[in-house]
Amino acid sequence: MTAPRFQFTLHATDGKARTGTIAMQRGEIRTPAFMPVGTAATVKAMKPKTVRSTGADIILGNTYHLMLRPGAERVARLGGLHHFMNWERPILTDSGGYQVMSLSDLRKLSEEGVEFRSHLDGSKHMLTPERSMEIQRLLGSDIVMAFDECPRADRPRDEIAESMELSMRWAKRSREGFDSGEDHAARAALFGIQQGALDEDLRRVSAQKLTDIGFDGYAVGGLAVGEGQEAMFGVLDYAPGQLPHDRPRYLMGVGKPDDLVGAVERGIDMFDCVLPTRSGRNGQAFTWDGPLNLRNARHAEDTGPLDERCTCPTCANYSRAYLHHLHKSGEILGAMLVTEHNLAFYQQLMQAMRAAIEEGRFAAFASDFRRDYCKA
């Protein structure tokens, strides 16, 4: 039996929290799902098979960075992103819009798209909805993101409204560009991105426009850009419910473990964030008892594991004292071991949430988690 192009099945709900499965040709994705970020065709400090061994079903690649280096056409000539980086399971690629806005000082926004200069060498590029779809097709992405603009939440409401309407016009062009991809469109999926910053009415309009266009899944965009957890949760109290119930809901760029629990509590199914890998390289480990800084002198003679409850190889084989030594010495192994632990911890957290939802005890799980994780 041939695997479906894209099929989302809800298994259980508990309050607003949901657990399910996304079936695609390259494998199944269990939700709620956390996607490790592989910006430049690599999850930093990790081998692909190690990323998979932590429990990751899908990873994220970045359109902006890959279009600049090594180039989407080159990746296509070399067999596509999956073959290039030796990851045969699903890959989601973001559209590049956020990076264009955040990384390029020299950019010009128009109805057509965004003209910008590379942060690498200053070369000039034009990124449009159609070009974003083409790049993601050349990469061989399994889940393609629509091209959008991500405005800051502190911009005036009329500017946020204008930006949202532009993103909705770009969403329609993204849909048309994706559908023109023939073979790729027949095996991949396309997600739309809701915008509207912190404004409930603008987000309702955005959700309706996206639903009218029709997508395989829907992202809540424009959050985790400096507004704070309270404001983010305020939007998540209503935004997921504005989107189709029978499609996955993806919160982009989030986040800390307590962010994930609070977002699942509010109906989110998918996440990505650089935090577990970036923190791992900087000596910060996430544990069930909260984050800890391995550079702190109190770990210098601690023979215990990072986390007594964690089953990852780092916790099974290495002490806090050794990891403290590696990070103080600037040894690469320190980044590798703590990154592996952090990714494993995130996947253990997702699995624990999936089990709690299935068993109808998510509220108690979330309460217990916050009691232990946030006690400091």
What pLDDT score was predicted for residue 98? 80
Determine the average pLDDT of the residues in 238-260. Answer: 97
- Residue 32 · residue 271 · CB < 8 Å: yes
- C-beta atoms surrounding 328 within 10 Å: 15
- Known catalytic residue: 289? no
Question: Can you give the pLDDT at residue 3?
Answer: 86
Active-site residue among 57, 216, 259, 272?
272
Q: What is the pLDDT of residues 257-311, one digit of tens each?
A: 999 999 999 999 999 999 999 999 999 999 999 999 999 999 999 999 999 999 9
Q: Is the pLDDT of residue 233 over 80?
A: yes
Q: Worst-scoring range by mean pLDDT, 23-27, 69-73, 96-100, 217-221?
A: 96-100
**CA proximity to 211, closest of 198, 195, 194:** 194
Active site residue 57: no
- Rounded distance, CA 4 to CA 27, Å? 10
Could you say which of 57, 94, 216, 259 is catalytic? 94
Distance of CA 254 to the CA centre of its chain: 7
Confidence label for 104 from pLDDT (cuts 50, 70 and 90): low
Give alpha helix (H) positions in the chain: 48-53, 63-68, 72-77, 81-85, 97-103, 129-139, 157-179, 200-213, 229-236, 239-242, 257-265, 275-281, 313-317, 320-329, 332-358, 362-373
Q: Whole-number mean pLDDT of the chain?
A: 96
For residue 292, what pLDDT is reported?
97
CB atoms within 10 A of CB 288: 17
Q: Exposed e or buried b for every residue in 44-56, given b needs 16+ CB within 10 A?
A: bbbebebbbbbbb
Q: What's the pLDDT score for residue 103? A: 67
pTM for the model: 0.97
Pick the range with the lowest mean pLDDT from 12-21, 118-127, 187-196, 329-338.
Answer: 118-127
What would the DSSP string read from start to end of 254-280?
B--HHHHHHHHHTT--EEEESHHHHHH
Q: How confident is the model at residue 376 (pLDDT cuts 50, 70, 90)?
A: low
**Can you tell me the mean pLDDT for 307-336?**
98
